[in-house]
Structure 1
Amino acid sequence: MAIRITAIIIALMGLALAGGGAYLLSLGGSAYYLLCGIGFLITAALLIARKLLALHVYAVIVVASLAWAIWEVGFDWWQLGPRGGVIILLGMWLLTPWIRRPLGFVSPTGARYGASAKPLAVAVALAVLIAAVSMFFDPLDQSGNLPEEKVAAAPALGGNVPDGEWHQYGRTPYGQRYSPLDQVNVENVGKLTEAWRYQTGDVKRPDDVGETTYQVTPLKIGNNLYLCTPHNLAIALDATTGKQVWKFDANSGMNPDRQHQTCRGVSYYKDQAAAADTPCAERVYVPTSDARLIALDAKNGEVCPSFAENGTLHLEKGMKYNPAGYYYSTSPPAIVGNKIIIGGAVNDNYSTQEQSGVIRAFDVNSGQLIWNWDSGNPSQTQPLPEGQTYTTNSPNSWSVFSVDEELGLVYIPLGNQVPDQLGMGRSENVEKYSSSIVALDINTGADRWVRQTVHHDLWDMDVPAQPVLLNITKSDNSVVPALVGPTKQGDIYLLDRRTGEPIIPVTEQPAPGGTIPEDHASPTQPISALNFRPRKLEGRDMWGVTMFDQMVCRIRLEQMNYDGQYTPPSLNGTIVYPGNFGTFNWGSVAVDPERMVMFGMPTYLAFTSKLVPRADIPPKGQDEKGSEQGLNRNDGAPYGVLMGPFLGPLNIPCQAPPWGYVSGADLRTGKIAYKHRNGTVHDMTPLPLPFKVGVPGIGGPMITKGGVAFLGAAVDDYLRAYNLTDGKQLWEARLPAGGQATPMTYAVEDGRQFVVIVAGGHGSVGTKPGDYVIAYALPR
């Protein structure tokens, strides 16, 4: 009975492998699955006939599969496992007495002896040995060290921020995410313990949109922390104890048409001309999800009525179209001099009649409009006259700005025009400014330079990250004011921030064509010499829990349009890699301005996009609006687009891990020093497995002068500390919810250094929601 059931199972597996393998081969893929399926069918037939040869044929399958797997992926255990797991388990079963005895012989005395299976036993043992050995190797790991020399004796940190404070999203206007504190260092970071914990009370609601996320980085001024929550509570905490000082509810309500429900941070301003005891002499500005900007008294959280209209600036003014929920500022505005400069997130792929992506500067005290820069009408920076409107759907900036007050420039990371995947009918200005970094004059709003990172963007490759500013000392000891610009496609642009010219070379490389007839693709795309771009996906990169879903992923790879990065969207379906989450996103990178090195978290997760003709789009449904996953309707356009991660039949990524790394690069040489897998599958599987696969993440890092980099972000719920020099993990703390926010650090009056992260989860990546603010410090 056992041998008959085994033969049937092997035969069914063989049919699946042979049938799928034949189809894969017809698409131009590997012949292995067809040959393996034939081997399974032969083994099953021999088992039914009770022939000892069945075990020998299966031994050949084991050895051939092992050789093929090593040839394809080397000694990468995470790739070898799916290829060999089913085969080895079946081999072990075939070695049991229940299978061997019916294949054996009967002695003259009537005793039954099992068949000899030495070839199969040797083959299985060899495979198990190689699998065990491969667990101790990581062929994809890149080890190395960043230079420890402090090149800059007095590094430019940007702004006048005391060492123990954190005044802006990236600590200073330069956005370096670097703290000059060194009480916590590589020697003692392992002793960090939780000092206090605060819960905001803002928890995910049943009627929330999918992308409800907690991405805030608190500010620290004096002895207060200032932060916001996804539903626009503004909160002040005592930085030493974590006790609430005040809380303000913006009452922004709920709207199912919002694409995002988040707040990355608030902005702080001190009026130097006002007496310290004057109401609203110090202010906190909070953007809300119903397109308002509210000024609050930093001391007590009360609204500052002298700003705009009774303390509230309405950002929808000047828009030709104003669909509720389609527009608001998800990131804290930049404050420089007497100006507060703000952009806004425009919903991706909802409609062709959405708000403008205009950047505006208002008087920080009165709320009066000073200038506006609209990438669809860039020459008219004077405030628009009554009755005139900004350009509909012009490229917008939803991320964080950086400022160099000495140069008089604010640096804007710009996105693409909606609809993102359709390039027909874009204006000359849109073609120039979309998916670029633009330097605007602080005083007039005029653009001084533009550096485009994608030509004719058809992939939603917004510049998502705050540009990071530092001064680079070159080999001839000359100092260049520089800008580090991380992108979704994996480039790190190192530019002279005065002119936008590359410090590290940028070249144009040929790009794939093949758009729909109405559109076109750029023949070339820029690439920086310092980049984390992945190589082109191949069949050997496909993954699964077993060889069967891996085979399905290979078939899907061959079925879809894919000729490498920048393959245009199509009616057939296109693989977009890096995908919509990008190699880098709003978390940006952290830079040490003394050592002139950077630390980041490159992420690799392929997506797919398929254009859907208007006639084939069903009536509007609850989940058919616009997001990184699902049908993006593009109302008013000839096509919608169906997008999502490139997943296999078991809803796990089709591409093999690692999906996430930590990495360090030397900005003086443009060389990547190390790349290590980051994060485990602890929170990705039903069982809390600690396997360090290298998981996706979204969030940002922070560096201290103590040589430690801190990072949450990964889809397992941990805050981790790394040695900046070699990228090795030094410490971790389990979080009660997803840590998709950028940590920060500060010092209090008694001299202790705290490290703080917000843990509230991220709806798009499915991490656990929460409402936690957690501080860590060394034991007293």
Structure 2
Amino acid sequence: MLRLFGILLGIIGLVLTGGGLYLITLGGSWYYGVAGLLILLAAIRTFRGEAAGLYLYLAVFLGTVVWALWEVGFSFWPLVPRLVAPIFLAAAALLLLPLVSPARGRPALTRPFVLGGVVMAAGFAGFMALMFLPHGVIRNEVAITPGTVSAATQAAGGDWTAWGRTNEGLRHATVDQITPENVGQLEVAWIARTGFVADQSQQLQDQNTPLAIDGMLYQCAAGSQVTALDGATGEVKWQFDPKGASPYWKRCRTVAYFDPGPGDQCGPRVVMTTTDMRLISLRASDGKPCESFGSQGTVDLSANMGQLVPADPPDPNATVPAVPGFLAQTTGPFVGGGKIVLGGWVADNVSTGEPSGTIRAFDAMTGAQVWAWDLGNPAITNLPPEGETYTKGTPNAWSGFAIDEALGMVYLPLGNATPDYYGGQRRDFDDEYNASVVALNLETGREVWHFRTANHDIWDYDLPSQPALADLPDGKGGTVPALIQTTKRGQIFVLDRRTGEPIRQVEEKPAPQGDGSVEGEYYAPTQPYSTAMAAIGGDALTEARMWGATPIDQMLCRIAFKRANYQGDFTPQSTRDTIIYPGNNGGMNWGSTSFDESRNIMVVADMRMPVVTRLMPRGTFREENPGFLGDAHGALSAQFGLPYAHKLVNFMSPAGIPCLEPPWGTISGVDVASGKLVWQQPAGTGRDVTFPGLGLQNPLAFHVGMPALGGAFTTSTGLAFHSGTQDYYLRAYDTETGEVLWKGRLPSGSQSTPMTYLGKDGRQYIVLTAGGARYNPNDWADYVIAFALPE
């Protein structure tokens, strides 16, 4: 046993010595190199059966404890890679001492050492047990400012009439049967199966929030198939399958509802879009297309959007038809003022000259196009001149819109001009509008104002979230109409939605410049920060924040960090490995915001995953990837038409574990009246996550906080519900404190934002779709699940 333990220490010592000495040359921590050498010496003497080898390892362990506490204090997850494995080895060393022969230094009394080994083993077990509890929970004492529930929220009554419950995008419900006192009694009321499975191997992902109107639910599956269900029983009333085909990014986050009033031959309608660019109006009564809308119920959305992309040289002037799916509908449509307003998702980073990001509005009765906003050519107010298209490759709006019918405005969260990661050939209007909130006149489609959240964006910091329209206290006894915009950066911008002027202070701060490796690129000297609002995540990375399950993979992450180009926020792209944090997924993403109007608290989910990127000169890319034509949202981006391709991967250890310390996702409550963080919880556990390459699901609920997808909704009774974790649960939080009051097990993962409504039977239901958690290939599904209090 001593020899085996000596061999184990020797392997560990060799790896730590080699890696640690290299880390020292990179300017990193000396701990690993010094500890590795000492462990190597301990291994040699232990292999010889000498007690001195075990003593030496125990001395290294004590030094490790001192070093760990000096570097990270008593923060639990940062201590795990620093201490858990060393504690296990220390327990083994103490328990092995009685096996040493007296001639090799065995102590006269071994019982204290055995007892110490048992204590160390108990400490190891204690560390493991603590992994099942949440750590890093934040609760701040913030005085809650009473707020005012908007007329739109009150008018929705017991229904959920739009993606964000109303067009204000607040996801706040006044239905009040379920309270903090009785939420623990929630049980499954019914489960429905739609038959449309979210097979992620086909890029299908279920991210839908159903609508609930007049006792009926309207849900769309990832392939744009719509199902109408009885809201009280889950009985399927009708289904409509548009049989759309698209190779990329198949999602349907929402449908819309339009009631034209009495006398219309189609009656109330469910308005939907498809991934292959069709706008369809269905009768809410039976799911049949409304013949008076468009052409027998359908409008072609691909017209005038520009369908050619440049081919890669040798012929720089050659063009090839765009692969189907370069333009798709994933979020929307949105109906307000008798108009259907929509944007679209454009395949990222394949080429310049991709389809236009133009925003269009259609008559909700007839389907006729009534206006268009082409930011590259404001002279076009509806259809482009004969034989022309809208401006290609402009920043697009793929996430949700918000509408204020009283002000007559629609608010758009814009992304980037694609490709995202090289801006040396950007047009002036691209830079002016990238990552901007834009307000358009709902009647005419003309711009009222815009506000940019990132300057010369070369990081894919699209605005991914639906703006939230809330009336905030103005400090004078009144309110100001505000727009709250969350970002991938973790910044929260609060603007006057009438003018676009910041209500909460925004400062331009100096930003890092490039390393000179990227020809033709230029860099914004400053970047905007919402300094009066709490930032969610996004703290600067340091070597000490690198993580891993053991000291070895933590050391390897430290080496990768020190080798890479990293200058903090907005580190520019480079031809060498560059760490970008927050990454292109966020921060906050499409789950958007829930805003408790009665308490002025917003609840958001975020993810924390640095990425490693690298620009590849065109010649190098062509040599290494012959015949590659582009993959939307893949690790490799061709960026045809530009001098550089691009590669992006998550910053992971060789063991497939994130190099950043947990949590990797959180649920947070922010007091918008003061701008302060009220509470924060890790977003669920590692249970149900599939081990990379093995296809096995983790049964252990380590409370690390996983990257959170989907958003939350809040209720007037003080509850917030969220289901978009990697583990299979719906959770209820106390909106004021963040305490988890209840959780319900799901048959599969959920990426959706849940919702609530009052059924025809008078019961309050909470409904979500569960089609499978992202990155988990085991449990693709087609569930619609309702929870309610016992009858």
TM-score, normalised via structure 1 length: 0.93
Picking from 521, 544, 549, the partner of 2:553 is 549
Cα offset for 1:86? Answer: 2.6
Q: 1:170-204 CA deviation, whole Å, 9 max, x = no partner?
A: 11110100001111010101101111111110114
SS class of match (2:63): helix
Q: Residues 214 and 760 of structure 2 are in contact (CA less than 8 Å); yes or no, is this contact kept in structure 1?
A: no
Residue identity opposite 2:579 in structure 1: I
Q: Residues 80 and 131 of structure 1 are in contact (CA less than 8 Å); yes or no, is this contact kept in structure 2?
A: no
Matched, 1:487 2:481: no
Cα offset for 1:232? Answer: 1.6
Q: Distance in 2 between matches of 1:554 and 1:604?
A: 17
Question: What are the ranges of 5 or more consecutive residues in structure 2 without an aligned counterpart?
Answer: 309-321, 692-696
Q: 1:704-759 CA deviation, whole Å, 9 max, x = no partner?
A: 11111000011111111111010110111111111100111000233210000000
Q: 1:427 to 1:106 in 2, by over 3 A?
A: closer
Q: 1:106-147 CA deviation, whole Å, 9 max, x = no partner?
A: 99xxxx977859689769957965994894997732113554
Q: 1:766 to 1:67 in 2, by over 3 A?
A: farther
Cα offset for 1:244? Answer: 0.9
- The residue that corresponds to 2:314 in the other structure is none
- The residue that corresponds to 1:94 in the other structure is 93
Residue identity opposite 2:406 in structure 1: E
SS class of match (2:406): coil
Q: Residues 146 and 726 of structure 1 are in contact (CA less than 8 Å); yes or no, is this contact kept in structure 2?
A: no
- 1:401-420 → structure 2 map (5 Å cutoff): 401-420=401-420
Matched, 1:169 2:160: no
Picking from 248, 254, 262, the partner of 1:265 is 254
Q: 1:250 to 1:270 in 2, by over 3 A?
A: same
- The residue that corresponds to 1:525 in the other structure is 527
Q: Residues 145 and 725 of structure 1 are in contact (CA less than 8 Å); yes or no, is this contact kept in structure 2?
A: no
Residue identity opposite 1:666 in structure 2: D
Q: Residues 361 and 371 of structure 2 are in contact (CA less than 8 Å); yes or no, is this contact kept in structure 1?
A: yes
Q: Residues 7 and 44 of structure 1 are in contact (CA less than 8 Å); yes or no, is this contact kept in structure 2?
A: yes
Picking from 746, 754, 766, the partner of 2:757 is 746
Q: Residues 200 and 777 of structure 2 are in contact (CA less than 8 Å); yes or no, is this contact kept in structure 1?
A: no
Picking from 157, 174, 180, the partner of 1:186 is 180
- 1:365-404 → structure 2 map (5 Å cutoff): 365-404=365-404
- The residue that corresponds to 1:722 in the other structure is 733
Q: Distance in 2 between matches of 1:767 and 1:71?
A: 42
Q: Distance in 1 between matches of 2:219 and 2:45?
A: 70
Picking from 565, 575, 579, the partner of 2:579 is 575
Q: Residues 725 and 773 of structure 2 are in contact (CA less than 8 Å); yes or no, is this contact kept in structure 1?
A: no
- The residue that corresponds to 2:317 in the other structure is none
Q: 1:566-595 CA deviation, whole Å, 9 max, x = no partner?
A: 101111111111111101101111001122
Q: Residues 236 and 245 of structure 1 are in contact (CA less than 8 Å); yes or no, is this contact kept in structure 2?
A: yes
SS class of match (1:303): coil
Q: Residues 157 and 174 of structure 1 are in contact (CA less than 8 Å); yes or no, is this contact kept in structure 2?
A: no
Q: 1:369 to 1:687 in 2, by over 3 A?
A: closer
Q: Residues 144 and 600 of structure 2 are in contact (CA less than 8 Å); yes or no, is this contact kept in structure 1?
A: no
Q: 1:417 to 1:471 in 2, by over 3 A?
A: same
Matched, 1:630 2:622: no
Q: Distance in 2 between matches of 1:600 and 1:613?
A: 39
Q: 1:595-614 CA deviation, whole Å, 9 max, x = no partner?
A: 21111112211112111222
Cα offset for 1:620? Answer: 6.6
Picking from 222, 238, 252, the partner of 2:244 is 252
SS class of match (1:449): strand
Once the two structures are overlaid, the 10-residue window that deviates more, 190-199 or 51-60, is 51-60
Question: What are the ranges of 5 or more consecutive residues in structure 1 without an aligned counterpart?
Answer: none
Q: 1:120 to 1:500 in 2, by over 3 A?
A: farther
Q: 1:122 to 1:513 in 2, by over 3 A?
A: farther
Picking from 764, 770, 778, the partner of 1:759 is 770
TM-score, normalised via structure 2 length: 0.92
Q: Residues 571 and 611 of structure 1 are in contact (CA less than 8 Å); yes or no, is this contact kept in structure 2?
A: yes
- 1:266-665 → structure 2 map (5 Å cutoff): 266-272=255-261, 274-275=262-263, 278-322=264-308, 323=322, 324-514=324-514, 516-529=518-531, 530=533, 531-617=535-621, 625-665=630-670
Residue identity opposite 2:269 in structure 1: R
Q: 1:297 to 1:368 in 2, by over 3 A?
A: same
- 1:215-230 → structure 2 map (5 Å cutoff): 215-230=207-222
Cα offset for 1:310? Answer: 2.0
Cα offset for 1:562? Answer: 0.6
Q: Distance in 2 between matches of 1:762 and 1:622?
A: 33
Residue identity opposite 1:517 in structure 2: E
Q: Residues 575 and 608 of structure 1 are in contact (CA less than 8 Å); yes or no, is this contact kept in structure 2?
A: yes
Q: Distance in 2 between matches of 1:375 and 1:476?
A: 38
- The residue that corresponds to 2:136 in the other structure is 140
Q: RMSD of the TM alignment (CA)?
A: 2.4
Q: 1:61 to 1:378 in 2, by over 3 A?
A: farther
Cα offset for 1:89? Answer: 2.0
Cα offset for 1:70? Answer: 1.2
Q: Distance in 2 between matches of 1:127 and 1:671?
A: 42
Q: 1:197 to 1:70 in 2, by over 3 A?
A: same
Q: Distance in 2 between matches of 1:446 and 1:56?
A: 77
Cα offset for 1:81? Answer: 2.1
- 1:184-223 → structure 2 map (5 Å cutoff): 184-205=178-199, 208-209=202-203, 212-223=204-215
Percent identical residues = 39
Q: 1:122 to 1:653 in 2, by over 3 A?
A: same
SS class of match (1:71): helix
Q: Residues 680 and 716 of structure 1 are in contact (CA less than 8 Å); yes or no, is this contact kept in structure 2?
A: yes
Q: Residues 105 and 113 of structure 1 are in contact (CA less than 8 Å); yes or no, is this contact kept in structure 2?
A: no
- The residue that corresponds to 2:684 in the other structure is 679
- The residue that corresponds to 2:77 in the other structure is 78
Once the two structures are overlaid, the 10-residue window that deviates more, 399-408 or 364-373, is 364-373
Residue identity opposite 1:532 in structure 2: I
Q: 1:230-249 CA deviation, whole Å, 9 max, x = no partner?
A: 11211111111111111111
Q: 1:751 to 1:623 in 2, by over 3 A?
A: farther
Q: 1:649-678 CA deviation, whole Å, 9 max, x = no partner?
A: 011111110111111111111111111222
SS class of match (2:761): coil
SS class of match (1:47): helix
Q: Distance in 2 between matches of 1:711 and 1:139?
A: 19
Q: Distance in 2 between matches of 1:620 and 1:130?
A: 47
- Matched pairs, number: 764
Matched, 1:158 2:152: yes
Q: Distance in 2 between matches of 1:778 and 1:159?
A: 23
Q: 1:42 to 1:374 in 2, by over 3 A?
A: same
Q: Distance in 2 between matches of 1:506 and 1:379?
A: 32
Matched, 1:241 2:233: yes
Q: 1:467 to 1:77 in 2, by over 3 A?
A: same
